[in-house]
A and B are shown apart, each in its own frame.
Chain A
Amino acid sequence: MSILQYHFMQNAILAGLLGGIACSVVGVFVVTMHLSFIGVCIAHAAFAGALLGLWLGFNPLIGALLFSLAAAAIIGPVADRGELNPDTSIGIIFSLMLGLAFLFMGLMHGARTEALNLFWGSILTVTRQDIVFLAATTGLIVGLVVAFYKEIQAVICHRQVALAVGIPATVIFYGLLFSTGVTITASLQSIGGLLIYCLILNPAAAAYQLTYSLKKMLFIAVAFGIVSCWAGLAVSYWLDIPSGAAIVITSAIIFGLATAFSPKRKVKGWQRVPLAG
């Protein structure tokens, strides 16, 4: 296994493991809450924030973190209050973030290699510092899930019920959105702003097809996330193709297979009232 001899590949495998775990866990939140588009929007906000950092010369991860948390803070109430159709308002914020990202990139002087790396990701060039940040984020996310599992389960499956029984549902909901923002920020360098969201969505969506147990869904999603990263890395190494793209395509194939073999395939669509007694 000569592939493992390279120091950069060892870092990449570690980043894939950590990114696969963190992205898949927050993916379970957004997929179960049917908030996929919100996650896409937060991912693009992080991307825009990182580019702002690059343009103005401060740490892009700080920009990404601030923008993704701000996006979560704006999008949460927009989705909740229903003043506008959430799809419309989130779509506007999403396109604004993408517009800002391109604006910041256009305003940069000189070579834009680092900016393009944030675009596509560069898991093969991640540094020890990136891995430490990713490890801390992954530890935080897993720790929060273990500590608040019952509250998270109640909020992502029955948010109104959670609120009614006296669970601090709003705090938990925003905590989940902010966790998504932090995870995206930590994974931005390795997976890339345009591709990160696929790694959040695909493993969790694949796991959603296979089980009715939230615990099993978390473990299956994590396994799919890690497999996507490692298989994608191997494919990119042997075929000499971009690693981020290979990871995302692998995760999409896993989703396709999970859907094809899903025991939920024959489940009828969303129940619409009136229901049969």
Chain B
Amino acid sequence: MDNTVIRIEDAVVSYREDVALQGVSLEVEKGEFIGIIGPNGAGKTTLLTVINGLGKLVHGQAWVLGSRLNGGSSIPLRKRIGYVAQVERIDPRLPINVSETVTVGCYGRLGLFHRPTRAQRETVDKVLEMVGIAHLRERPIGHLSGGEYQRAAIARALVQQPEIFLLDEPTASIDQKAQREILNLIQLIHKQSHMTTLFVTHDLRTLPSICQRLILMRDGKIWRQGSPESMLREEVLSQLYGAPISVPSEIASLYS
């Protein structure tokens, strides 16, 4: 039985004159946890947007969760994919609280003209408990710290009951303690759900230890991919980033 949930063949994406992805091919199997690393501008985020249907291919083909992405509406697909971006700048006066923000996660699947059911509201409460911010449920979303905000973002994605989990620099711009807590939470979720997960980061120190495969991107291409043990080597990383890079000790110890 074919376990492939993502298949991308020779994908090219461009934003006006800038080519963001150049001939990327990738297969991801159900339940895999994949880390994607590379310098800024390597095409990591663009790759995620191709997977959730927001990035338009100018060449190549892609199938995600059995649907071929052919330039039509990707709304049905996005309902099945959880997406967490890095902490964004947010107006502290925004009139929406944490619980309402997390509930937005189920709006896509609910569809127009339907209100969240009691069961869905209970799911929101359970997920808020799970990510450790149940006590903040009534707090305005703009009053959260960076770490709390990311927990809310992860909770919102989980309420969506996704089949694929895309994490785009979820630990960027938050302090180290919060980074560690968020990474532990992401790993816990994967261990419990075995959800197919793609984790993008440019910071090697924030690479989850449960990565089964690492994809190294540079200049809009997949430069190399393989097991973390084979990729997290000084000579490989130095070539990837174009500068001498040493493997952070906390990461080296995980994969040694």
A residues near B, CB below 8 A?
A: 32, 34, 147-148, 150-151, 153-154, 157-158, 160-168, 208-209, 211-214, 216-217, 264, 267-277
Contact = CB atoms under 8 A, between A and B. Distances in A.
Interface string B74-97: 011111110101111111111111
Contacts of B109: 166
Given A157-B96, A268-B92, A275 B146 contact: yes
30 contacts: A150-B104, A150-B107, A153-B100, A157-B101, A164-B81, A165-B78, A165-B108, A166-B75, A166-B78, A166-B109, A167-B75, A168-B112, A209-B93, A212-B96, A212-B140, A214-B95, A214-B100, A267-B92, A267-B143, A268-B92, A270-B90, A273-B87, A273-B172, A275-B145, A276-B146, A276-B175, A277-B145, A277-B147, A277-B174, A277-B177
B91 A34 contact: yes
A153 B107 CA distance: 11
B52 to A, nearest CB: 7
B218 interface: no
Contacts of A216: 95
Q: Categorize the interface residue count of chain B.
A: 35 or more
Nearest to B181: A277
A167 B146 contact: no
Contact of B76 (A166, A167, A270): A166
B95 A213 contact: yes
Contact of B89 (A150, A209, A264, A271): A271
Nearest to B179: A277
B212 interface: no
Nearest to B109: A166
B115 interface: yes
A160 B83 CA distance: 10
Interface of B: 52, 54, 75-81, 83, 85-97, 100-101, 104-105, 107-110, 112-113, 115-116, 140-143, 145-147, 149, 153, 156, 160, 172-179, 181
Contacts, number: 128
A209 B91 CA distance: 12
Given A163-B78, A273-B173, A32 B104 contact: no
Most chain-A CB neighbours within 10 Å: which of B83, B91, B160? B91
A267 B86 CA distance: 23
A163 B55 CA distance: 12
Most chain-B CB neighbours within 10 Å: which of A32, A160, A275? A275
A208 B93 contact: yes
A157 B93 CA distance: 11
B178 A264 contact: no
A168 B78 CA distance: 10
Given A150-B115, A161-B156, A275 B87 contact: yes
Contacts of B81: 164
Given A32-B94, A270-B90, A154 B175 contact: no
